[in-house]
């Protein structure tokens, strides 16, 4: 059952991460188009940079769970790297519940509250164009939920490796 959960979460995180990675294409097109309009035709837009910023926010935050599936997050491991594999696993088993889960849980809780409020008031950005801001907040909340579930999968993977010596 643990193996099934871990494999399912990995697949979901990878799929969602890859899907959101394609947001870079419209971001580049928007930025290149804005540069062309601004510097070649002297006709800048009021919306292009803001759309690119909102898309990049979604692109960036949703990638967190995907990166976790590949152990790609930056860590300060001056001491950690010197420990044996078993000690590293033990540290992860202890520190993940003490640091990662409370941190992500609080972020998820606060983001959920903030997102619900944002939806209720149909929040917009503070610019002249003022596009809706709440869709990005929904995506951020979803990203933290996905990160929490992927964190559980990571912890379970380390737990099985530590207790049974099996890699999932």
Distance CA 36, CA 127 (A): 22
Q: Residue 77: its pLDDT value, please?
A: 75
**Structure tokens, 98:** 């003490």
* pLDDT of 144 above 90: yes
| DSSP for residue 96 | I
Cβ neighbors of 19 (< 8 A, separation 6 or more) are none
CB atoms within 10 A of CB 151: 21
- Across the strands, what pairs with 124? 132
Q: Residue 133: its pLDDT value, please?
A: 94
Q: What is the pLDDT of residues 31-89, one digit of tens each?
A: 999 999 999 999 999 899 999 999 999 999 999 999 999 887 777 777 878 889 899 89
Distance CA 142, CA 13 (A): 11
């Amino acid at each position: 059952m643990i193996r099934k959960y871990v494999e399912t979460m990995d697949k979901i995180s990878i799929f969602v991460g890859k899907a959101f990675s394609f947001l870079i294409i419209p971001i580049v097109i928007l930025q290149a188009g804005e540069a062309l309009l601004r510097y070649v035709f002297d006709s800048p837009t009021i919306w292009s940079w803001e759309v690119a910023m909102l898309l990049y926010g979604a692109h960036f935050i949703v990638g967190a769970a995907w990166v976790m599936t590949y152990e790609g997050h930056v860590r300060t491991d001056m001491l950690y790297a010197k420990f044996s594999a078993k000690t590293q696993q033990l540290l992860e088993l202890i520190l993940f519940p003490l640091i990662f889960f409370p941190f992500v849980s609080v972020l998820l809780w606060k983001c959920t509250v903030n997102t619900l409020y944002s939806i209720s008031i149909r929040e917009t950005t503070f610019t002249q164009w003022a596009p809706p801001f709440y869709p990005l907040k929904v995506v951020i909340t979803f990203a933290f939920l996905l990160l929490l579930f992927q964190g559980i999968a990571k912890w379970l993977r380390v737990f099985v490796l530590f207790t049974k010596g099996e890699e999932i």
